Structure 1
């Protein structure tokens, strides 16, 4: 068996290693998957990686595990922690936040306007992996971003800073950070003109900087002792897969329910009708991360949202059983509970991700119909990935319920949208693989979601 590439997904609780072959020819193949416990917080991610590699070797029945390349995605040790600082909350701050989230960041602090002393103290406590400064339309307001840069520079923290604000400030920003221990990266303005989001250049910079600085994260210092190629933030890798699937299939929505968080990715421009009444622009590719909605680390948050009385009525289980739920449910009652928590995570995260319609009333104009947030009405495929939705039996039914949720004012996918599962749990790994083997990764994505047959893309399933 020839293994071309191993791709590790280093999660908050588990590490998986996927093996791929045939990448240099016309028959790319997923060969198998090994699993271990993530050990970044214990000081050395290599322990969990080697455990997952040994599990893979045993499953493949190999005496030795030989491969050409080793790539990885990571959300361990807190993932990519960022703070974001802009000018106006609904403009440059929103655009900066969208760029950071789309790149796979976990945003720990967002500020609008001039930084206060208390904000600087928060940044010092957070110790982010990266700081992003924006503010001002191109050739517009300049002073806020410059003042914020001076204040952030004064912290003398040894971490990268990305500037994505008013283009007129770029020279002064470079002067401010000259000689600083903070490595500066300058990119295009995320909000160059009114109602124009330009987040892709900043996303690419964020991911490149993450890859360069990942070795400074807790427990990740020796990751390149094993990994020979790219390391991407796991959510950013899923977003890469979402963009590729959008090119092939049309508008997509991907939900990733994990042990610590629930991520929602959508790639859709929305409908022309909704865009005409949208109050503020939305990016085509949008990610939201819900740090309070994980079915293991944050299981009590989900249980409290459901309510103990409801849990007892539906499952005959209370908060005590929720507390004792293991990371990998085995018993029937554990699986039933995990499914119910997963359903609540999907329902709540989608409510937060999707936009809605509402009425505005004015004395002269009367009632005006407007839209706010992300329009998902054009989504053609709803795809589930992550451990909960791909490993728990019956999880597809949870996604099918989306088609009956949010009727009326919510901008949810319509009933025609098809539900698919990332059956091999590969979308994150294939996102990073797509950087090196784009066509092979595309085919493997379609295979994993059940839309590839011997003739290629299964057009019957698309109809």
Structure 2
């Protein structure tokens, strides 16, 4: 049998998916707690034993896998700091490149770095830096100043340089003399408001595979698998883009938004142009990528439950619960202290679902663009900042709280447009869908070799919900 084993070394669980390429079918799945603090292979072997047992029950004892591919967000995933010139332009472009590569962006710095900024970067302990600044042929002063600061600091982490190409030679000289680990990629913003994040994103992925996985001890898995290809969020973004756009041979499902509710963060992915859909509205600001990812580090079900409560407000969560007396503070505090908690009672499940509704509402609102109006001598002008998600075809949910819910559509519904906030460009009437088998990261991996098969499997396994 021509079978692949697809592995996600997650921050909490190591998840395995076995796929039959000939039948284009999922043979089985399994998961076990990720044991990155001891030996990551312990959790892998436990999950593999579960998978072997379920395969044996189907008559597939001793199945051999022709390929074993993995992604990882273990040990905090890929943590990055982005540096640019102007916050709204090259610094934002650098941030988007890092997010698109599957990183968790710890902080974005703009303009000239100070000694205090360097101290902050050192304290953040990132896995990698992305240095941008200036359009090609434009301002060199800032990126060269920042390169000198980094060279003086001699930070022991890889630096991807993706700024004004006119400054590349001088930066190389600085970094070589300082003995820094660095690589050069094309400018993330070669022209004003024009994004070019793919080269930097690919360079980040290569460094992740070559260096970061070794630093985190994940390299111990490489003897048992073929490749650790990318961070888990990058695999999910690949899957989302494939599902939306399709391939040369297979149609996708069209423009979509995907919400991944996790224990520490809520990630939102949009696969659409996001151009204005309303007449007379003009686009303003930095060009939006067709495939976009944002990460909300304060919106999580466990690790960041307290910060989610602060962001949403007690009243809002009580409204989702339908209980004006619920002790939301205590419930969120307990979840933040007991991150492995699984709901055991109806009350626990209702609280989890209320927290999830807040996570969806806030994360989609932050991801979506918005309209702003201002007066000119010619009358009122309306501009759009960010992506217009109002006409997307599907809103897809993934994450444990959605899979466990008896009514996941009710949770996803909180991401829709509301009359109370008419300037927000959130989805209006999408179909609600669910990744009920946790296959998105696996299909992102499979798409590296077999995109058509990965797409057809997703179209069968990502189910449409009753709304």
Q: TM-score, normalised by structure 1?
A: 0.90
* Alignment match, 1:45: 40
Q: Distance in 2 between matches of 1:448 and 1:214?
A: 32
* Alignment match, 1:458: none
1:421 and 2:421 are equivalent in the alignment: no
1:54 and 2:40 are equivalent in the alignment: no
Q: Distance in 1 between matches of 2:89 and 2:332?
A: 41
Q: Distance in 2 between matches of 1:358 and 1:308?
A: 28
* Alignment match, 2:283: 278
1:329 and 2:343 are equivalent in the alignment: yes
1:191 and 2:189 are equivalent in the alignment: yes
Residue 283 of structure 2 aligns to a residue whose secondary structure is coil
**Does the aligned pair in 2 maintain the 1:137–1:165 contact within 8 Å?**
yes
1:380 and 2:393 are equivalent in the alignment: yes
1:152-198 per-residue CA deviation (whole Å, 9 max, x = no partner) reads: 12222332211111121222222222255432221111111122111
Taking structure 1 as reference, are residues 323 and 56 closer, same or farther at Cα in structure 2, changes over 3 Å only? Answer: farther
* Alignment match, 2:248: none
Q: Distance in 2 between matches of 1:182 and 1:223?
A: 27
Residue 301 of structure 2 aligns to a residue whose secondary structure is coil
Q: Distance in 2 between matches of 1:271 and 1:120?
A: 38
Give the Å deviation of 1:55. 2.1
Runs (5+) with no aligned partner, structure 1: 452-460
* Alignment match, 2:314: 307
**Does the aligned pair in 1 maintain the 2:101–2:231 contact within 8 Å?**
yes
What is the aligned length? Answer: 445
Q: Distance in 2 between matches of 1:246 and 1:149?
A: 39
* Alignment match, 2:362: 348
Q: Distance in 1 between matches of 2:450 and 2:228?
A: 12
Aligned residues: CA RMSD: 2.3
Give the Å deviation of 1:401. 3.9
1:357 and 2:371 are equivalent in the alignment: yes
**Does the aligned pair in 2 maintain the 1:17–1:35 contact within 8 Å?**
yes
Give the Å deviation of 1:310. 5.3
**Does the aligned pair in 2 maintain the 1:254–1:384 contact within 8 Å?**
yes
Q: How does 1:179-218 map to 2 (within 5 A)?
A: 180-218=178-216
Taking structure 1 as reference, are residues 409 and 28 closer, same or farther at Cα in structure 2, changes over 3 Å only? Answer: same
Q: Distance in 2 between matches of 1:101 and 1:229?
A: 22
Match of 1:257 among 257, 261, 270: 261
Residue 283 of structure 1 aligns to a residue whose secondary structure is coil
Give the Å deviation of 1:132. 0.6
**Does the aligned pair in 2 maintain the 1:3–1:19 contact within 8 Å?**
no
Q: Distance in 2 between matches of 1:252 and 1:436?
A: 23
* Alignment match, 2:13: 14
Residue 67 of structure 1 aligns to a residue whose secondary structure is coil
Give the Å deviation of 1:308. 6.9
* Alignment match, 1:445: 458
Runs (5+) with no aligned partner, structure 2: 246-251
* Alignment match, 2:90: 92
Give the Å deviation of 1:404. 4.8
Taking structure 1 as reference, are residues 317 and 59 closer, same or farther at Cα in structure 2, changes over 3 Å only? Answer: farther
Q: Distance in 2 between matches of 1:323 and 1:3?
A: 48
**Does the aligned pair in 2 maintain the 1:85–1:133 contact within 8 Å?**
yes
Taking structure 1 as reference, are residues 396 and 155 closer, same or farther at Cα in structure 2, changes over 3 Å only? Answer: same
**Does the aligned pair in 1 maintain the 2:52–2:62 contact within 8 Å?**
yes
* Alignment match, 2:295: 289
**Does the aligned pair in 2 maintain the 1:256–1:389 contact within 8 Å?**
no
1:138-165 per-residue CA deviation (whole Å, 9 max, x = no partner) reads: 1111121122112212222332211111
Give the Å deviation of 1:52. 1.6
Q: Distance in 1 between matches of 2:417 and 2:390?
A: 13
Give the Å deviation of 1:328. 2.8
Q: Distance in 1 between matches of 2:52 and 2:25?
A: 16
Deviation larger for 236-245 or 206-215: 206-215
* Alignment match, 2:449: 436
**Does the aligned pair in 2 maintain the 1:356–1:372 contact within 8 Å?**
yes
* Alignment match, 2:28: 32
Taking structure 1 as reference, are residues 148 and 271 closer, same or farther at Cα in structure 2, changes over 3 Å only? Answer: closer
Give the Å deviation of 1:67. 2.2
Give the Å deviation of 1:231. 3.0
1:406-450 per-residue CA deviation (whole Å, 9 max, x = no partner) reads: 6521111122x2111112111111112111221211111111214
Residue 61 of structure 1 aligns to a residue whose secondary structure is helix
Taking structure 1 as reference, are residues 195 and 74 closer, same or farther at Cα in structure 2, changes over 3 Å only? Answer: same
Q: Distance in 2 between matches of 1:253 and 1:239?
A: 11
**Does the aligned pair in 1 maintain the 2:91–2:132 contact within 8 Å?**
yes
Give the Å deviation of 1:334. 1.8
* Alignment match, 2:249: none
Give the Å deviation of 1:400. 3.0
**Does the aligned pair in 1 maintain the 2:222–2:228 contact within 8 Å?**
no
**Does the aligned pair in 2 maintain the 1:425–1:448 contact within 8 Å?**
no
* Alignment match, 1:455: none
1:345-396 per-residue CA deviation (whole Å, 9 max, x = no partner) reads: 001101111111121235x445321112221123111111122223332112
